[in-house]
């Protein structure tokens, strides 16, 4: 069989030119790559819808999961905090009770402090009164130190009266209401003897005994030195002994008179007649150092 006749290329070109001349535009030849596919747009819309649905589902799942976890956590936290809340509540009640108790105790302490202050003042006043009464009860007493143990025999009052008459050169034996040794255990061998306490019937006679004892010192009995002193309480004796250093300094100041008065008051009289009284030994020592000794020249000493 013979092949079909082929159209001439010249004829095709002539036809194309004539169509171009009629329309005035050149239409490109259709290509299989630029042909639109109606199914692609549908796929894109489907994918978008699926993506939106997945996002919505994800959000719902996350929200539900958070709610579940939140509820579980809250329950667990509440269960864990419940004992703490109970403990805190109990502690709060305890603290409130302690605060109330502290307030009550504070009021009681304030009242007790005022009471203690009042009682302290009263005790101090009563102590001074008792000390004064004890001192007054000893005003007629004399203390005799250095008499050997056992020489008094069975009649100590008569022995002490005779001893004072002989030691001081009195005309008669002084009238003594009583005489005894101090109430402490009898000393052992080698220990100093206990002092005698003698209560003189007359206050003037007691003062005469003390005056003669000071003027006749030193006093001796059986070769032992004996001293006669006023009988003071322990507190008064301590106060008076604190002036010993000041009195020793005043002894070296000629023209200066001084005396230690009951209970413990030092009176200093200067050569010009000025009188000064001291109850504090430190103030007295300072006065003697700054004023009394500067008034006395080394030549006069």
**196-222 pLDDT tens trace:** 999 999 999 999 999 999 899 899 999
Element (H, E) at 234: helix 234-241
Q: Is 153 helix (H, G, I), strand (E, B) or coil?
A: coil
Q: Which of 98-112, 176-190, 262-276, 286-300 has the lowest mean pLDDT?
A: 286-300
Are 236 and 192 in contact by the 8 Å Cβ rule? The answer is no
Q: Is the pLDDT of residue 159 over 90?
A: yes
pLDDT for res 252? 87
Long-range contacts of 256-260 (CB under 8 A, 24+ apart): 256/292, 256/296
Q: Which of 125, 143, 152, 292 is nearest to 226 (CA)?
A: 143
More confident residue, 195 or 29: 195
Q: Which residues of 143-182 are buried (b: 16+ CB within 10 A; e: fewer)?
A: bbebbeeeebeeebbebbbebbeebbeeeeebebeebebe
Beta bridge partners of 257: 269
Give the E-state strand segments of 164-222 in sequence order. Answer: 176-181, 196-200, 219-221
Chain length of the chain: 301
Looking at the chain, the number of H-run helices and the number of E-run strands are 8, 8
pLDDT band at 12 (very low <50, low <70, confident <90, very high): very low
pLDDT band at 38 (very low <50, low <70, confident <90, very high): low
Q: Which residues of 87-103 are buried (b: 16+ CB within 10 A; e: fewer)?
A: eeeeeeeeeeeeeeeee
pLDDT for res 295? 67
Are 193 and 146 in contact by the 8 Å Cβ rule? The answer is yes
167-187 confidence digits (pLDDT tens): 999 999 999 999 999 999 999
Token pair of 85 as six digits: 């809340």
Mode of pairing for the β-strands spanning 219-221 and 196-200: unpaired
Are 288 and 258 in contact by the 8 Å Cβ rule? The answer is no
């Amino acid at each position: 069989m013979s092949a079909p006749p082929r159209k001439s290329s010249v004829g095709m070109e002539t036809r194309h030119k004539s169509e171009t001349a009629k329309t005035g535009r050149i239409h490109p030849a259709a290509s299989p790559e630029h042909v639109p596919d109606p199914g692609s747009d549908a796929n894109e819309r489907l994918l978008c819808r699926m993506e939106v649905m997945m996002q919505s589902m994800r959000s719902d799942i996350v929200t539900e999961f958070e709610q579940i976890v939140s509820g579980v956590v809250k329950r667990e936290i509440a269960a864990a905090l419940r004992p703490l809340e109970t403990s805190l509540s109990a502690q709060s009640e305890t603290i409130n009770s302690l605060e109330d108790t502290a307030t009550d105790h504070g009021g009681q302490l304030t009242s007790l402090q005022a009471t203690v202050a009042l009682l302290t003042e009263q005790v101090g006043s009563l102590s001074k009164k008792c000390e004064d009464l004890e001192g007054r009860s000893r005003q007629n007493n004399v203390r005799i130190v250095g008499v050997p143990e056992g020489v008094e025999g069975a009649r100590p009052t008569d022995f002490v009266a005779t001893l004072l008459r002989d030691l001081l050169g009195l005309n008669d034996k002084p009238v003594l209401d009583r005489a005894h040794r101090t109430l402490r255990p009898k000393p052992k061998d080698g220990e100093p003897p206990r002092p005698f306490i003698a209560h003189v019937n007359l206050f003037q006679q007691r003062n005469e005994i003390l005056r003669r004892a000071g003027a006749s010192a030193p006093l001796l009995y059986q070769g032992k030195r004996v001293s006669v002193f006023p009988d003071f309480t322990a507190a008064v004796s301590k106060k008076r002994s604190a002036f010993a250093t000041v009195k020793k300094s005043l002894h070296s100041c000629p023209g200066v008179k001084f005396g230690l008065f009951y209970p413990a008051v030092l009176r200093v009289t200067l050569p010009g007649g000025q009188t000064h009284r001291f109850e504090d030994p430190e103030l007295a020592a300072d006065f003697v150092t700054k004023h009394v000794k500067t008034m006395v020249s080394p030549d006069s000493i």
